[in-house]
Structure 1
């Protein structure tokens, strides 16, 4: 079941990228906050065009919010609106307080439950599918479809947008500033690392044998590796491709990062017979990182950059 879940999530990521790409640059422009600081305009009512192309009117500052994907939940909490969250999905696990919130379903939403919680703002996302979003709107709910970000630039835009529609523009600016500062600080440390001219090659594995999946270009992980001056072993591939074990071994990475499991999974990688000559395995540079901070597009992605840097270039943090 665990492997099935990992593969399912990988395919969801691919679908999300496709859907996000289809929305086009114009949708992103329509969703972006007013030029300058988001705190400059938090007046209600406001009408904003969402990622589905629909103009959504928000009559007053939302007091009862239901985010329908974990990334949006994390953004809402980072904006200081946890007390206004009246429901979350079965997939939400951060922050800890969400465990006490009413659940409204997983990939299949319980619309009756959502209606019973009487939200004045429902934050959806494209990966929920047009049919479910249509059903939500047909039920009379005020639904805003947030663009699913596939880069830090788009993530900052999503934070600005949610901050704008919830009247928390200043806090949104603070969240983004904090993220950028954290990334800048780690980059400054990396610039002073021993042998800064040596760029390490990193293999990222989101599912292991018999079906190996990795992250190629056009993904958050690829951008994160670029930010820490590391080379994505699968940079010639796109999205979240399935890769043969033979192909993976040929990359011969300096570091292997698993986005699943723990110590037992690291041991499994090191025990793979075909991998015993891979540099990362020979030197025991196989690590795991919490998937939530490297693949869930929310404020914790900045911490994901920090943790990734510490795994790839530990000498920079001694």
Structure 2
């Protein structure tokens, strides 16, 4: 009888856990190293990064959003939500007025300070590496009490990535690549999520890993490395040859410059559920012979 009781107890406990009971309060560590306690399952959420908006929606939790940052535009349903500003021009007052249960923020921008003073719970996320995409997805699953949905999304993204890698494996060469985020110039290191996508697309990033994930570099470094392909996520392709020494770079001499703006830029620049679509764009750029 005692064995039967404990068996039933375990079944009931598991069932309650699976449907969301007995999970809160819970304390998790965010990417600022803070211990954040969630008193209850968050139902009114503000996301302040497009990648977080997309990941949350891809997990089937879009209806929990009450507002987003100014740049979140996918899926279409989030376009009509109130916009709270960007990384460095966010409006804490507007966020507080919404009385959200939770605000998902970047580790940059220091938005947590005014929000915490107003009694709003914040959770900071830093998604820079390829593995961070999956770690963040699982973390959101933990926060939202949606672990199964998070694992399904992780598996889906990995399957899509594998399909694109299989296509890229048919390429005959591995061109050297310079990827420019803006004309400052800021670029991507090989250990960043974009750097990993370049490798998966069978390209060779010219930026040394010791410079970091998203370093500002000297333009002379690009001249020295002489890449075979240049990838831009800003509308400045026409001006590249005007930079000192750049007219002699192989990618410019052979017109192997790929410019991605708007939606294409979003696919490449957001470490979220559509990352395989960004990889597909890179493969088409580096290996136009692949169909």
Do they superpose with TM above 0.5?
Answer: yes
Residue 21 of structure 1 corresponds to which residue in structure 2?
none
1:216 to 1:246, Cα distance in 2 relative to 1, 3 A: same
User: What is the CA distance between 1:298 and its match in structure 2?
Assistant: 1.5
* Cα distance between partner residues in 2 of 1:124 and 1:82: 16
Structure 1 contact 220–294 (Cα < 8 Å) conserved: no
Residue 249 of structure 1 corresponds to which residue in structure 2?
223
Matched, 1:80 2:29: no
Residue 89 of structure 1 corresponds to which residue in structure 2?
69
User: What is the CA distance between 1:85 and its match in structure 2?
Assistant: 0.6
Residue 162 of structure 2 corresponds to which residue in structure 1?
184
User: What is the CA distance between 1:236 and its match in structure 2?
Assistant: 5.3
1:268 to 1:66, Cα distance in 2 relative to 1, 3 A: same
List alignment gaps of at least 5 residues for structure 2: 1-16
Root-mean-square deviation (CA), in Å? 2.4
* Cα distance between partner residues in 2 of 1:231 and 1:175: 28
TM-score (norm. length: structure 1): 0.76
* Cα distance between partner residues in 1 of 2:106 and 2:215: 23
1:236 to 1:121, Cα distance in 2 relative to 1, 3 A: closer
* Cα distance between partner residues in 1 of 2:166 and 2:182: 32
Deviation digits for residues 213-252 of structure 1 (CA, Å, limit 9, x no counterpart): 3222432222211222211012355133333433322222
2:90 to 89, 98, 109: 109
* Cα distance between partner residues in 2 of 1:87 and 1:64: 9
* Cα distance between partner residues in 1 of 2:120 and 2:257: 47
Residue 122 of structure 1 corresponds to which residue in structure 2?
103
Residue 22 of structure 1 corresponds to which residue in structure 2?
none
Residue 176 of structure 2 corresponds to which residue in structure 1?
201
Aligned partner of residue 141 in structure 1, secondary structure: coil
Greater RCO (CA < 8 Å, at least 6 residues apart): 1
TM-score (norm. length: structure 2): 0.82
Structure 1 contact 214–242 (Cα < 8 Å) conserved: yes
User: What is the CA distance between 1:54 and its match in structure 2?
Assistant: 3.5
Deviation digits for residues 64-106 of structure 1 (CA, Å, limit 9, x no counterpart): 1111222211211111222221011223333333331112233
The structure that has the greater radius of gyration is: 2
* Cα distance between partner residues in 1 of 2:142 and 2:135: 10
1:168 to 1:252, Cα distance in 2 relative to 1, 3 A: same
User: What is the CA distance between 1:270 and its match in structure 2?
Assistant: 5.1
Residue 309 of structure 1 corresponds to which residue in structure 2?
283
Matched, 1:286 2:257: yes
1:138 to 1:79, Cα distance in 2 relative to 1, 3 A: same
* Cα distance between partner residues in 1 of 2:131 and 2:71: 25
Residue 47 of structure 1 corresponds to which residue in structure 2?
26
Aligned partner of residue 242 in structure 1, secondary structure: coil
Equivalences for residues 259-298 of structure 1 within 5 A: 259-261=233-235, 265-269=236-240, 274-289=245-260, 290-298=264-272
Matched, 1:212 2:182: no
1:55 to 1:41, Cα distance in 2 relative to 1, 3 A: farther
Structure 1 contact 217–238 (Cα < 8 Å) conserved: no
* Cα distance between partner residues in 1 of 2:241 and 2:284: 20
